[in-house]
């Protein structure tokens, strides 16, 4: 089965040209037809008046003897009477005079008599009617006039027919139409030239931007500069620049991830290789060697998992399909998963929560709570107190994880959230807090680590530290009615 052909797509220039020139062409065509009919009617009316004048002129030359039914018409119409109305050799005029009974009196006897009965209403004051007929095989225009004839010896009615060939009329209509079409053709040509020039000028920024993008080397995602672009293109250019910015951030993150991965995994792999070689040489007993290898593998596994988690945070940051989640329920689930670690260190664990909904990815919330709680468990002394508090402040969900560890030294505070910064904690990969910070940023919140003192919270010195408070603030989700979505109730991960 052959692949389907892509749909025909018009370029912007062709679309504009068709959109502008096609209506103009249709209008010119309709206008030409209307002009033809109007011109024909105008020429017809003008020459019909000439026929009427000829008929009246012949009617004035008639005489009659007798009255009414006994009236006998007489006509002496010289040919010169019609020559005055013949403008040139392209038309010929014929006449026929008859009485009301249709009896021929004068003129061209072969001219067909008036076929109608009576005369229909006419715009002229005289009893006249115009119709089309044929004479000697040529189309003619005929005027029939009912002419009263009165003399000293009688009174009667005459029917005067004057016919004219259509050559002059058709020639005049054709000349007028040709002159009009020539003017309209010149106008259309001027419109086409102007429209093409304007469209070319209007689409020049689009062509320039397209050529610039095609000439860019692979991987270059710098902003598009289009100072001459029309205002209608600015939203598209801004959206494209924003998209390029997001792609550049994603590309930079991928490069940084590959660089950090290659650098960080090199050390545990080298240590693992040395340990294996030492065990093969018999430098240490097998049990000790396996324990060392196991510890190295665990550290490498933890490092790989956290680096993959950091990469997943960046991936989810690009997605907008967040869901309203109950933060309290997520905290309870994670706390239940880590309860063996809490029990192992015999910690006095307390959870104070209340339902609160935030917009997030379920994995993000779980990873955030897991890292914070895992750090608190690690730094808490055995038998110490560990507390998680959930509360709402200023339309924000506030998650606080409090431990009784040594807190954070002021010398380490500036590098707290930097990747791979372990401080003085042995066995740490230095990525846990980095993952937390990236998750909180992706959710539009803030994170802070504050030493807790006997004299209060946030005292800047390092003395009298009674523990650490990890405080996360996340924006609360709006109700479904305010988000323009149907209320589906609480959604849990």
Q: How confident is the model over 268-284, as pLDDT tens digits?
A: 778 788 888 888 887 77
Give the pLDDT band (50/70/90) at residue 124: low
Rounded Cα distance between 163 and 197, Å, is: 55
Q: The tokens of 474 are what?
A: 């996340």
pLDDT score at 490: 37
Rounded Cα distance between 115 and 105, Å, is: 17
Rounded Cα distance between 321 and 359, Å, is: 9
- The answer on pLDDT for 286 being more than 50 is yes
CB 143 within 8 A of CB 55: yes
Give the pLDDT band (50/70/90) at residue 332: very high
Q: If residue 95 lies in a helix (H) or strand (E), which one and from where to where?
A: strand 93-99
Q: How confident is the model over 50-90, as pLDDT tens digits?
A: 888 888 888 888 888 888 777 787 777 666 556 655 555 66
pLDDT score at 221: 80
- The answer on pLDDT for 38 being more than 50 is yes
Structural domains in the chain, CATH included, are 14-174 (3.30.450), 222-318 (1.10.287), 320-493 (3.30.565.10)
pLDDT score at 388: 92
- The answer on pLDDT for 5 being more than 80 is no
pTM assigned to the model? 0.50
Rounded Cα distance between 10 and 19, Å, is: 11
What average pLDDT score do residues 354-383 get?
Answer: 88
Q: The tokens of 237 are what?
A: 């250019």
What average pLDDT score do residues 375-404 get?
Answer: 89
pLDDT score at 79: 60
pLDDT score at 393: 87
Angle between helix 432-442 and helix 362-379 axes, rounded to 10 deg: 150
What average pLDDT score do residues 372-383 get?
Answer: 88
3-class DSSP state for residue 171? helix
Which residues, including other chains, have CB under 8 Å from residue 358's CB and lie 6 or more apart? 324, 325, 327, 365, 397, 443, 474, 475, 476, 477
CB 224 within 8 A of CB 242: no
Between 362 and 100, name the one with better pLDDT.
Answer: 362
Backbone angles phi, psi at 103, to 5 degrees: -75, 130
Angle between helix 234-281 and helix 286-317 axes, rounded to 10 deg: 180
Instruction: Choose among 201, 187, 431: nearest CA to 304.
Output: 431
Sign of the alpha-carbon torsion through 299, 302, 304, 307: negative
CB 317 within 8 A of CB 442: yes
3-class DSSP state for residue 108? coil
Rounded Cα distance between 419 and 438, Å, is: 11
3-state class percentages of the chain: helix first, strand second, coil last, to nearest 5: 50, 20, 30
CB 300 within 8 A of CB 456: no
């Amino acid at each position: 089965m052959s692949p389907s052909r892509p749909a025909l797509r018009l370029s912007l220039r062709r679309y504009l040209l068709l959109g502008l020139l096609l209506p103009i062409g249709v209008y010119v065509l309709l206008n030409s037809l209307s002009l033809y009919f109007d011109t024909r009617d105008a020429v017809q009316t003008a020459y019909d008046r000439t026929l009427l004048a000829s008929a009246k002129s012949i009617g004035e030359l008639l005489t009659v003897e007798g009255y009414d039914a006994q009236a006998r018409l007489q006509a002496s119409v010289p040919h010169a009477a019609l020559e005055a109305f013949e403008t040139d050799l392209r038309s010929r005029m014929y006449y026929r005079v008859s009485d009301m009974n249709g009896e021929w009196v004068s003129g061209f006897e072969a001219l067909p008599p008036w076929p109608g009965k009576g005369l229909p209403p006419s715009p002229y004051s005289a009893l006249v009617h115009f119709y089309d007929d044929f004479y000697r095989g040529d189309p003619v225009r005929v005027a029939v006039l009912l002419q009263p004839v009165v003399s000293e010896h009688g009174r009667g009615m005459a029917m005067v027919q004057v016919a004219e060939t259509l050559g002059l009329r058709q020639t005049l209509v054709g000349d007028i139409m040709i002159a009009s079409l020539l003017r309209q053709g010149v106008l259309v040509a001027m419109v086409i030239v102007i429209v093409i020039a304007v469209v070319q000028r209007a689409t020049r920024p689009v062509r320039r931007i397209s050529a610039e993008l095609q000439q860019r080397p692979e991987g270059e995602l710098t902003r598009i500069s289009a100072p001459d672009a029309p205002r209608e293109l600015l939203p598209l250019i801004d959206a494209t620049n924003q998209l390029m910015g997001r792609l550049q951030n994603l590309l930079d993150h991928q490069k940084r991830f590959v660089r950090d991965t290659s650098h960080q995994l090199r050390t545990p792999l080298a240590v693992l290789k040395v340990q294996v070689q030492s065990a093969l040489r018999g430098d240490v007993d097998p049990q000790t060697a396996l324990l060392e290898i196991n510890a190295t593998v665990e550290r490498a596994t933890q490092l790989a998992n956290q680096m993959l988690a950091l990469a997943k945070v960046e991936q989810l940051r690009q997605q907008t399909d967040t869901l309203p989640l109950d933060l309290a329920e997520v905290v309870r689930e994670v706390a239940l998963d880590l309860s063996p670690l809490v029990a192992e260190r015999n910690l006095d664990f307390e959870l104070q929560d209340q339902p609160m909904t935030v917009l997030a990815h379920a994995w993000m919330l779980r990873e955030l709570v897991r890292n914070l709680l895992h750090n608190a468990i690690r730094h808490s002394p055995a038998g110490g107190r560990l507390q998680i508090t959930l509360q709402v402040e200023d339309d924000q969900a506030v998650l606080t994880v409090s431990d009784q560890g040594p807190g954070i030294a002021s010398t380490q505070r500036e590098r707290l959230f930097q990747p791979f910064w372990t401080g003085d904690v042995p066995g740490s990969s230095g990525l846990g807090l980095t993952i937390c910070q990236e998750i909180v940023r992706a959710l539009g919140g803030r994170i802070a680590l504050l030493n807790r003192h006997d004299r209060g919270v946030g005292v800047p010195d390092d003395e009298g530290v009674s523990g650490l408070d990890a405080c996360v603030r996340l924006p609360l989700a709006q109700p479904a009615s305010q988000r323009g979505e149907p209320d589906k109730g609480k959604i849990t991960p």
